[in-house]
Amino acid sequence: MFLVGISGGIASGKSTVVAVLRELGCAVIDADVIAREVVQPNFKAYRQIVHYFGTKILLQNGEINREALGNIIFFHPEKQQLLNSITHPEIQKEILKQILKYFLLGYRYVILDIPLLFENRRFTKFMKYTVLVYCDPPMQRARLMKRNGLSRAEAEARIASQLPLDEKRKLASCVIDNSGDWESTRQQVLKLHARLEDSLDFLWARLAVGTVVAGLGGVVYLLLWHFIS
């Protein structure tokens, strides 16, 4: 099995592309969903976040107010680093669990939907392919303003907090240009899917696991033979 990392920028259309891949039957791990799960009450990360950021970030039902926490870290980069140090280890553990699940189910590859894949680069070294969902910067700004009801200055500030799409484009092994119409984007996704389906890269992992299992089986056989004889 091999890993495919997919990312984009805010309002670039990544969610739309991932939805098509899901429809095609791909195994997808959504890092954002996991990030929301690990900060639920009674989880380790939740207790640490409340300890460092205080109860002012909690909703009435006790859950973390993501908007309030987001506003804090947006204006205080050092607090964002603190939050990352709390949540990232827990997110990574859950991602590894899900990768193992799909491996045991026989999937040949898994797609990891990671919004900041190219920003922190923690996962890129494990990816066989890295996919960027791209759109030109003016369109990105216009989509964000319309989607979130932001002013031009507000939209530009949010976009500036991420690595520019043009920089991410240089780091990606595959780019899906979402600047055009929906059908154009869909055709690019279908080509990516065909490329992944035709890839034989999954064989290396299967062969490696097979070798290990065969080796363990041989050891067990020798031990049994020793004690029986």
**pLDDT tens-digit series, residues 25-77:** 999 999 999 999 999 998 999 999 999 999 999 999 999 999 899 889 888 88
Examine residue 130 and state whether it is found in any structural domain, yes or no: yes
Examine residue 207 and state whether it is found in any structural domain, yes or no: no
Query: Both 95 and 176 in a single domain?
Result: no
Query: Both 65 and 115 in a single domain?
Result: no
Q: Which distant-in-sequence residues (6+ apart) come within 8 Å of 85 by Cβ?
A: none
Query: Both 58 and 164 in a single domain?
Result: no
Q: Which distant-in-sequence residues (6+ apart) come within 8 Å of 132 by Cβ?
A: 6, 7, 8, 118, 165, 168, 169, 171, 172, 174, 175, 176
Q: Residue 142 and residue 137: Cα distance in Å, rounded? A: 9
Q: Which of 106, 126, 145 is the last residue of a domain?
A: 106
Q: 3-state DSSP call for residue 128?
A: coil
Query: Both 23 and 113 in a single domain?
Result: yes
Residue 171 has pLDDT above 90, yes or no: yes
Asked if 109 and 196 touch (Cβ cutoff 8 Å), the reply is yes
Asked if 4 and 113 touch (Cβ cutoff 8 Å), the reply is no
- Average per-residue pLDDT for the chain: 87
Query: Both 184 and 116 in a single domain?
Result: yes
What pLDDT, on the 0 to 100 scale, is given for residue 204? 58
Q: Which of 76, 106, 136 is the last residue of a domain?
A: 106
What pLDDT, on the 0 to 100 scale, is given for residue 82? 93
What band does 122 get if pLDDT is binned at 50, 70 and 90?
confident
Query: Both 15 and 116 in a single domain?
Result: yes
* Closest of 179, 181, 63, 74 to residue 132, by C-alpha: 179
Query: Both 22 and 45 in a single domain?
Result: no
Residue 124 belongs to domain spanning:
1-27+109-198
Query: In total, how many domains does the chain have?
Result: 2
Q: Provide, rounded to the nearest whole percent, the portion of the chain with pLDDT above 70.
A: 88
Q: Residue type for 78, please?
A: E
Query: Both 61 and 19 in a single domain?
Result: no
Examine residue 208 and state whether it is found in any structural domain, yes or no: no
Q: Find the mean pLDDT for residues 192-210.
A: 73
Residue 220 has pLDDT above 50, yes or no: no
Examine residue 85 and state whether it is found in any structural domain, yes or no: yes
Spell out where the chain has E strands: 2-7, 28-30, 109-113, 129-134, 174-177
Query: Both 81 and 156 in a single domain?
Result: no
Examine residue 221 and state whether it is found in any structural domain, yes or no: no
Query: Both 119 and 191 in a single domain?
Result: yes
What band does 24 get if pLDDT is binned at 50, 70 and 90?
very high
Q: Residue 87 and residue 64: Cα distance in Å, rounded? A: 13
What band does 125 get if pLDDT is binned at 50, 70 and 90?
confident
